[in-house]
Structure 1
Amino acid sequence: MLSLKLPPLLRIHQVPEVFWEDGIMSGYSHPTSSALDCVLSSFQMTNETVNIWTHFLPTWYFLWCLLVLAGGPGFEDELYHWPLLVFMLPTCLYPFASCCAHTFSSMSPQAHHMCYFLDYGAVSLYSLGCAFPYAAYSMPASWLHGYLYQLFVPAAALNSVCTSLSCYSWWALSALPFLTSKALRTAAFTYPFLFDSLPLFYRLGLCWARAHGCGQEALNSNHGYHLLCALLTGLLFAARLPERLAPGRFDYIGHSHQLFHICAVLGTHFQLEAVLADMRSSRA
């Protein structure tokens, strides 16, 4: 009978510093694993296993959503649906890229950098993809004939380049202090999100400012859930809690990156529902 034996898992000081995660003390795969070892490790409990599956399974969910929407009557033939399609493609791509990065990053330090370079590149495309349905379906009525509306998507394309800062921080990790690298990556995620969400923030502020409601400018409740998940995602990514409070206690289950993945996927789900609601309400 064929038997496959995986290399033993290592503690933090047994792997190069580039693989270290703050507060994660054990469960590291061998830093020179083969591609087969990496694939098999996704079925072994390591400190990356939950990270892999919390983005692998949502990839198939979002792909199923895309196929259901694209299979609807007249979807491909009507230009009104195309911004949604542009949004859905990177929505399927970014969790898959993240899954691959967490699976194959233990092949070597160079592979580690390359995997997360591609991961952040997919996030960059996702941030750009968000701008298309927001511009098409979620814009405040008062913006529709202004310069911001005309420049919204081109500016989002330019902003997506900011994610290259996070890619650079991985390549230069050995030369930069940890906090500097972390700050670059956090900024690269945060700034494109804040820009893409400007129409939502404006509509939300408009509703607060008006004493008698905001009519058609009212945000769908799913927008609120999406913004809440995005806030939690950012806090988890930056704070590295709870593992920083109890190093070694959350090595396999419950550390911040796993919670980060879950919040990110839930946020994307609520974002999709909100975009669909805006698409239906703004069709006229």
Structure 2
Amino acid sequence: MLSLKLPRLLSMEQVPQVFHEQGILFGYRHPQSSATACLLSLFQMTNETLNIWTHLLPFWFFSWRFVSTLQVTDILHDSYSWPLLVYMGASCLFPLASSCAHTFSSMSRNARHICYFLDYGAVNLFSLGCAIAYSAYVFPDTLVSTTFHDYYLTLAVLNTIISIWLSCYSRFFEIQKPGLCKMLRVLAFAFPYTWDSLPILFRVFLFAGESAENEATLYHQKHVAVTLLASFFYSAHLPERLAPGRFDYIGHSHQLFHVCVILATHMQMEAILLDKTLRKEWLLTHGRPLLFAQIAGAMLLCLIFSLSNIAYFSAALYRIPEPELHKKET
């Protein structure tokens, strides 16, 4: 019979510091794993296995939802649905990028950084996709077609450009200043999310009465609550920080963060679909639908700046001497 030899796992002391995760003592893959070994690790219980599967399986679910929506949409003539399609496409991209980043991040030090640069780029494209959908379907009645609404998407593009730069830049402090690294990365994602969510926050807290009959509001509330929970797990490193070694494989904070992110995205998608359907007549009468040039231009700008930043910071990894970038590993 054919036997499959899975890669040997290592303890925290056996891998360079750049691979260390707070509170995770064992289950690390070899820091110079081959691509084949990385793929095999999907079927081996490591400290990354559930990080991969908690985004890989939702990728297929969101892809099914996306394809199902495409099949019932007249893409060429139904311009009202274009923002939804952009959002749903971005919803497929970010879990796929995340699962790939976690899968191949153990190939080398630089490969680890580059994998997460790409992950951050996908997250920022998703953030912009959310802003496009919110601009089209979610704005409270009172703010539709106001100056704030007119400039909302432009500033969302600017935020994503700043976010991808800041999140990639933060990785250069991972060893020397881990606290600063974490603060910059949280800020890089928190600010665009807060800006994107302003229409929801205004609708829930300031203009709740005008949309009380809209059942999408409840999904929006749940989405915000679960997103805050995800942020807590990402920042706090609980429960593994309180019991190092006990949650190496199952139950550590990054897995819980992934689960919360997927649940929040599902609730967000349901809310956007409801808003798109229930508010269609009113929005088409009182709003200014997004043009193809606006949607395509925003996504293209974000994509160009994201890829440019990823290329720049990836090249910088090879320009900076390794001892300077990882000087605390010895």
1:245 to 242, 248, 251: 242
Give the residue type in structure 2 aligned to 1:61. Answer: F
CA RMSD of aligned residues (A): 1.5
Question: How far, CA to CA, are the matches of 2:171 and 2:94 in structure 1?
Answer: 18
What is the aligned partner in structure 1 of residue 273 from structure 2?
A: 276
What is the aligned partner in structure 2 of residue 197 from structure 1?
A: 197
Contact kept? 1:140, 1:199, Cα under 8 Å: yes
Question: How far, CA to CA, are the matches of 2:254 and 2:223 in structure 1?
Answer: 18
In the comparison of the two structures, how many residue pairs are matched? Answer: 279
Extract structure 1 runs of 4+ deviating beyond 6 A: none
After superposition, give the CA deviation of every residue in 1:140-171 in whole Å (9 maximum; x if it has no partner). Answer: 12212321111111111110121321111124
Q: Which has the higher contact order (CA 8 A, sep 6+)?
A: 2
Give the residue type in structure 2 aligned to 1:244. Answer: R
SS in 2 for 1:27: strand
- Going from structure 1 to structure 2, the CA distance change for 1:138 and 1:238 (only over 3 Å counts) comes to same
Compare the two structures and name the one with the higher helix fraction. 2
What is the aligned partner in structure 1 of residue 99 from structure 2?
A: 99
What is the aligned partner in structure 1 of residue 142 from structure 2?
A: 142
**Which segments of 5 or more consecutive residues in structure 2 lack a partner in the other structure?**
282-330
- CA shift, 1:234, in A, is 0.4
Contact kept? 1:12, 1:24, Cα under 8 Å: yes
What is the aligned partner in structure 1 of residue 251 from structure 2?
A: 254
What is the aligned partner in structure 1 of residue 21 from structure 2?
A: 21
Contact kept? 1:35, 1:104, Cα under 8 Å: yes
Contact kept? 1:47, 1:252, Cα under 8 Å: yes
After superposition, give the CA deviation of every residue in 1:177-234 in whole Å (9 maximum; x if it has no partner). Answer: 11100111111111111000000101111256xxxx4346855211111111100010
- Going from structure 1 to structure 2, the CA distance change for 1:138 and 1:82 (only over 3 Å counts) comes to same
Contact kept? 1:207, 1:217, Cα under 8 Å: no
Question: How far, CA to CA, are the matches of 1:163 and 1:52 in structure 2?
Answer: 22
Give the residue type in structure 1 aligned to 2:171. Answer: W
SS in 2 for 1:220: helix
What is the aligned partner in structure 1 of residue 164 from structure 2?
A: 163
Q: How does 1:66-105 map to 2 (within 5 A)?
A: 66-105=66-105
TM-score (norm 2): 0.82
Give the residue type in structure 2 aligned to 1:41. Answer: S
% identity of equivalent residues: 51
**Which segments of 5 or more consecutive residues in structure 1 lack a partner in the other structure?**
none
After superposition, give the CA deviation of every residue in 1:113-137 in whole Å (9 maximum; x if it has no partner). Answer: 0000000110010101001110011
- Going from structure 1 to structure 2, the CA distance change for 1:136 and 1:249 (only over 3 Å counts) comes to same
Q: How does 1:43-54 map to 2 (within 5 A)?
A: 43-54=43-54
Question: How far, CA to CA, are the matches of 2:10 and 2:110 in structure 1?
Answer: 19
- Going from structure 1 to structure 2, the CA distance change for 1:170 and 1:217 (only over 3 Å counts) comes to farther
What is the aligned partner in structure 1 of residue 210 from structure 2?
A: 214
Give the residue type in structure 1 aligned to 2:239. Answer: P
Question: How far, CA to CA, are the matches of 1:277 and 1:248 in structure 2?
Answer: 43
After superposition, give the CA deviation of every residue in 1:76-119 in whole Å (9 maximum; x if it has no partner). Answer: 52000000011011100000000000000000001000000000
Give the residue type in structure 1 aligned to 2:133. Answer: P
Question: How far, CA to CA, are the matches of 1:217 and 1:158 in structure 2?
Answer: 34
What is the aligned partner in structure 1 of residue 130 from structure 2?
A: 130
TM-score (norm 1): 0.94
After superposition, give the CA deviation of every residue in 1:215-268 in whole Å (9 maximum; x if it has no partner). Answer: 468552111111111000100000010000000000000000000000000000
Give the residue type in structure 2 aligned to 1:158. Answer: L
